[in-house]
């Protein structure tokens, strides 16, 4: 049986609303630090959003998109980060191959920092060097994202790069932008305050129907469900200098399905989570 997920988005873990991750309708996020919207899309084998039919999204299975204005005065391209943090330790539940997977992800994204052994394990990267699409502008309009039928963000960071900058990344080229921002010196002091930031964090290594992690490049496939400890998976847009969270997106398992491992079913029952679709 397929796994059922609930996805929430908002300003804090206690101030969230449900996200339509098949239709792509954005959710508003409003707080003193950030005003904008969040959209989440998951690829479904039976029915998928038109986003996944775009040639540029070949191989993508999920997407988290945010669009909004950062109100803080002290946010730059180095301290604006995106990633995960858990509320409780996961070190006893990490599957075999986790270290290899982290090493491979760091190969793809050298700016990733993490501590999966801590009591509140985390993994974050500077936003500008990790997301698949990034659009930054001086336009402070926070009214809405693109129509949910066309959630393709146009890559553009031209407002951040001085026209006389040497070796500047080619405009509209995400790979060049990621490579450019690998350098901490290029990120530091590059101001994002009061700017409109839109990004697409899109990946292809998770199958949400089976909750499995796959890296065919290194021959690694991990069934995550049997290692699940009952915690939600939470993504944060954060200022790592101040600790301010601008937005949070929560992935919560509502039903583990009849095909789940026995220990997973037992844990689901203890936490009053469904075991039958």
Of the pLDDT bands very low, low, confident and very high (cuts 50, 70, 90), residue 253 is: confident
Rounded Cα distance between 268 and 277, Å, is 13
Q: Hey, what are 114's tokens?
A: 């993490």
pLDDT band at 225; cut points 50, 70, 90: confident
Q: Which two tokens stand for residue 274?
A: 């469904």
Cα 277 to chain centroid distance, Å, stands at 27
- Quote the strand ranges of 13-52, DSSP E: 15-18, 27-30, 34-42
Q: What is the mean pLDDT of residues 23-27?
A: 91
Tokens of 117: 């052994």
Q: Find the mean pLDDT for residues 244-251.
A: 96
pLDDT band at 45 (very low <50, low <70, confident <90, very high): low
Residue 190 backbone phi and psi in degrees, to 5: -85, 100
Q: What is the pTM of this model?
A: 0.89
Give the dihedral of Cα atoms 43, 65, 202, 185; nearest 10 deg. Answer: -170
């Amino acid at each position: 049986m397929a796994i059922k997920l609930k996805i929430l988005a908002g300003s804090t873990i206690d101030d969230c609303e449900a996200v339509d991750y098949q239709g792509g309708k954005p959710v508003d996020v409003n707080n003193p630090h950030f005003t904008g919207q969040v959209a989440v899309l998951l690829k479904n084998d039976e029915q998928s959003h038109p986003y996944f039919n775009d040639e540029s999204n070949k191989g993508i299975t999920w997407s988290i998109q945010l669009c909004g204005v950062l109100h803080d005065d002290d946010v730059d391209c180095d301290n604006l980060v995106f990633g995960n943090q858990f509320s409780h330790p996961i070190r006893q539940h990490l599957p075999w191959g986790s270290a290899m997977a982290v090493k491979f992800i760091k190969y793809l994204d050298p700016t990733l920092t993490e501590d999966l052994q801590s009591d509140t394990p985390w993994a974050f990267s500077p936003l500008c060097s990790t997301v698949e699409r990034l659009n930054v502008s001086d336009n402070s309009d926070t009214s809405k994202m693109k129509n949910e039928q066309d959630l393709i963000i146009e890559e553009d960071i031209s407002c951040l790069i001085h026209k006389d900058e040497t070796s500047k990344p080619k405009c509209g080229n995400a790979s060049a932008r990621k490579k450019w921002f690998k350098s901490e010196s290029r990120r530091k002091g590059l101001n994002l305050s009061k700017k409109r930031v839109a990004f697409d964090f899109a990946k292809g290594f998770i199958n949400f129907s089976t909750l499995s992690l796959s890296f065919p490049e290194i021959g690694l496939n991990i069934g995550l469900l049997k290692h699940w400890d009952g915690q939600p998976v939470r993504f944060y847009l954060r200022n790592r200098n101040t600790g301010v969270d601008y937005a949070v997106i929560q992935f919560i398992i509502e039903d583990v399905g009849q095909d789940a491992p026995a220990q997973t079913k037992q844990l689901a029952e203890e936490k009053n989570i469904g075991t039958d679709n």
